[in-house]
Amino acid sequence: MTRLHLEPEGFASPGGLVSDLLEGEPGALDLFPPAAFQQPAALRTAAGSPGFPLSPAAFHCPSPQARERLELVLAGGGLVVTTGQQPQLFGGPLYVLYKALTAVRAAMDVERRLGSPCLAVFWVAADDHDWVYPIVEKAKELNICVMVHSDPSIYATPWQVGLLAMDFPDVPVVMAHMGFVDVIYNDAAINMAKRAPNLYLETCGVSAEGKVALAVREIGASRVIHGSDMPFHNPAFDMARIQYADISEEDKKLILGENAQRLLDSLGK
């Protein structure tokens, strides 16, 4: 039997991996491809690009300062850091709040680095066709792919994500987490991908490496994509899930990077 032993290593700063990535610590950056964290150049490029038109009606600003920053961004004078989460009763798990506060912290860091206003935006990931379908219609118009969270909750089941992909056969849809930690939902994700050839399965948080291998057998390795869900997961666990799956070395290379690159190349990105 093959045993996996992970030896934890300390990071340079008390804030852990995210702080080390923001500060450019070599030990943290070595966990990712070289181009992944060339932040200053990438952000300066973004700051100088026209971007896409945004509607003020899509934002709720809790303060006059936020409204002022929003107006600067909409006028082309700033950037946006965005994240989101499924709605939870009474605030839900504390990480929902941490997630919103982390977006604020990241926006402050971008603003400090570039000297350009940066707005933090938190969006509610709800099962609402009035929002979801227009967004995917826009993705089709822009020739980009969409990633949709999946888990056993009533807001993001694999069946819902699969039906979305079937309704938009020309839009590549990436199902994040491949149903997440429940094996029944992993199987559902695979079954929906068999019905929707434009549906890709992302492996972060999947119940076991056996489900990754099953996905490869059922739909082929070319539509299985590795993800990290940083900063909530240790990247070593999600990479090990691929490395220890009973699939070929060529399939592992595809999942760990080549498939994502090919998907972006197919969209001209």
* pLDDT tens digits for range 200-245: 999 998 988 999 999 999 999 999 999 988 877 788 888 999 999 9
Average pLDDT (81-102) is 72
- Residue 263 CA, distance from chain mean position: 15
DSSP per residue, 5-61: -------SSTT-HHHHHHHT-HHHHTTS-GGGG-HHHHHHHHHTS------GGG---
Asked if 164 and 192 touch (Cβ cutoff 8 Å), the reply is: no
- φ/ψ of 122, rounded to 5, equals -115, 120
- Which position has the higher pLDDT, 266 or 36? 266
Task: Examine the pLDDT at 138 and tell me if it is beyond 80.
Answer: yes
- Which position has the higher pLDDT, 89 or 227? 227
Task: Examine the pLDDT at 92 and tell me if it is beyond 60.
Answer: no
Q: Any residues with CB less than 8 A from the CB of 122 and at least 6 apart, and which?
A: 82, 83, 84, 85, 99, 100, 103
- φ/ψ of 118, rounded to 5, equals -135, 125
Domain range annotation of the chain: 16-124, 128-269
The angle subtended at Cα 241 by Cα 239 and Cα 246, nearest 5°, is 125
* CATH 3.20.20.140 at 128-269, yes or no: yes
Task: Give the CA count within 13 Å in the CB-facing half-sphere of 147.
Answer: 17
Q: Any residues with CB less than 8 A from the CB of 50 and at least 6 apart, and which?
A: 76
Q: How confident is the model at residue 85 (pLDDT cuts 50, 70, 90)?
A: confident
- φ/ψ of 201, rounded to 5, equals -110, 120
Residues in the chain: 269
Residue owning tokens 């695979």 = 190
Task: Examine the pLDDT at 44 and tell me if it is beyond 50.
Answer: no
Average pLDDT (41-60) is 57
CA nearest neighbour of 192 among 215, 221, 222: 215
Global pTM reads 0.57
CA–CA separation, 203 and 211 (whole Å): 9
Written as six digits, the tokens of 257 are 């990077």
